[in-house]
Amino acid sequence: MRLLLTILTFTSNAFIFSQDNILQNQAIQILKQESPDEYQVLAWHQSTPTIIEFRGNNNTTWKTYKTGTIYQYLKCNHILDCLEDLSTNVHELNHGISQYRAF
Amino acid sequence: MKVSDQNKKKLVYNFYITPDKVFLFNEDIELFPSSSLIPHIDESSRSFRFSTYIEGNSSTQSDGIIGLLDEYNCYFHSAKTHWELKNAYIKNGRNQAAGYQRWLNTIYSYMTSHWKFQYFIYEYLQLLNKTDQVTYNQLIMSTNFSTIFRNIHYEFNELYESYERELGSLDKTAEKYKVSLECNGEWCFFDNHGIHVTDAERDMITVLAISPEFRDIRKDLGIKY
C-alpha cells in the first residue's frame, strides 16, 4: 500500500520559550551553542504541527499528535541537573522526530 | 518460511543521525517482537537495557528490529548531547575538576548502549535469518536498513573512541586540574570522586558484539570487525 500523504490540517507552535523555565531555558541555550546538531531536535519538535492528519490513497485518514513539550524531560532545579536532563530530553524528543517527521 | 503479504505492516521511520545523514525507512514488512529474543540473550547481558527493550512494552515489540534501531539512534543522540556539553559542565561545576568528573562519569551508561544495541540487533538478525530468510533478505537487500545501521554505528563508534581517549588521558587531566587520581578496577577516583570506567557486563557485551558468532551478520551489514 502506498501512502503518500496529504497534510490536511495542522496547528503550529511558535518557537517561543516559556518565561517560567529560567534554568531550563539557560540549559537549552547552552545546548544551542555547544551542540547545534542536537539542538536541532528540539527546534524540530517545536516547529512540528500539534496535529497532523493525512490520507492514504485508499482514502483511509490517519491522524497523529505531537506529544509533550521541549521542557517535558527537564525536571531540574540546578543548572548541572538541567544539563544532565538534556540527554534524556533529546533522546525522547528524537523518538517523536522518528515518527512524525517521516510524514 | 515465507511471510504472506497480509501479515506485513507498514513501518515508516525518519532517522535523523546528523544533519547530512537523514534516512527514511518506509517498508511493508513483518517483524517479530524483540521479546522473541529472550531465550537467545546471553545470561550475562540481561540487566542493562534488557528489561526495557527486550522484555518491556515499547516500539521494540510492535516494530521489532526497527524499534531497536530507533533506540540505538536515540542513545547515540543522548551520548552526543552529553559529550558536547563538556565545557558547560566544567564551567558550571562546583569547581572545574568537579564539573569534569560529573561529566565523564555520567556518560558511562550512554556509551555502554553503543555495544548493547549492537548486540541486540545482531541477535535479532541472527534469529530472523534462521526463522524467516525471506524477510531477512528483504531487510538486508531491499531496504536501507543496513545503510542506516552502518551510519549510526560509524557515528557512535567515533564518539566511543573519543570517550576511550578521554579515559586514557585521565592522568594528564588530573595533572591539569592539580587533583589526585587513583584507578582501581571498575572505578577511577578523580579528586576522590568516582568515574565509572568499566564493569563486567560492559566487558562481556563488548566481547559479544564483536564475537565470531555474528561475523556473517556484520558482513551483511557492511561492518568491519
> Which of the residue ranges A90-94, A97-101, B22-26, B85-89 would you say has the lowest mean pLDDT?
A97-101
Q: What would the pLDDT profile of B57-100 be if each residue is shown by its tens digit?
A: 889 998 999 999 999 999 999 999 999 999 999 999 999 999 99
A102 and B93: CB-CB below 8 Å? no
Q: Which of A9-13, B1-5, B32-36 has the highest mean predicted lDDT (pLDDT)?
A: B32-36
- C-alpha cell read off for A21: 523555565
pLDDT value at residue B6? 67
Flag whether residue B193 sits within 8 Å of chain A, measured between CB atoms: no
Whole-angstrom distance between the N-terminal and C-terminal Cα of chain A?
15
Q: Could you report the predicted ipTM of this complex, rounded to two decimals?
A: 0.92
In a domain, A76, yes or no: yes
- Provide the shortest C-alpha distance from residue B58 to chain A (in Å): 11
Residue A14: what pLDDT?
39
pLDDT in tens, B168-218: 999 999 999 999 999 998 999 999 999 999 888 888 889 999 999 999 999
Residues of A in contact with B14 (CB under 8 A): 97-99, 101-102
Domain annotation covers residue A29: yes
Q: How remote is the C-alpha of A54 from its chain's centroid?
A: 19
A19 pLDDT band, cuts 50/70/90, is: low
Is A3 inside a domain boundary?
no
- Chain B hits for A70, CB-CB cut-off 8 Å, are none
Per-residue pLDDT, A4: 40
Q: Is residue A37 part of a domain?
A: yes
Asked if the structure places residue B182 within a domain, the reply is no
Which domain, by its residues, includes B92?
A: 5-174+201-221
Contact: A37, B80; criterion CB under 8 Å: yes
pLDDT, average across residues B24-50: 88
pLDDT for position B44: 77
- Distance (Å, whole) CA A48 – CA A100: 8
Confidence of residue A101 (pLDDT cuts 50, 70, 90): confident
Domain that holds residue A89: 22-47+68-100
- Total structural domains in chain A? 1
The domain total for chain B is 1
Contact B73 A80 (CB under 8 A): no
Q: Cβ–Cβ of B10/A30 closer than 8 Å?
A: no
Cα(B223)–Cα(B72) distance, rounded to whole angstroms?
16
Report whether pLDDT(B1) > 50. no
A1–B81: do the CB atoms touch at under 8 Å?
A: no
Quote the mean pLDDT of chain B. Answer: 93
- Is B216 part of a structural domain of the chain? yes
Structure confidence at residue B109 (pLDDT): 92
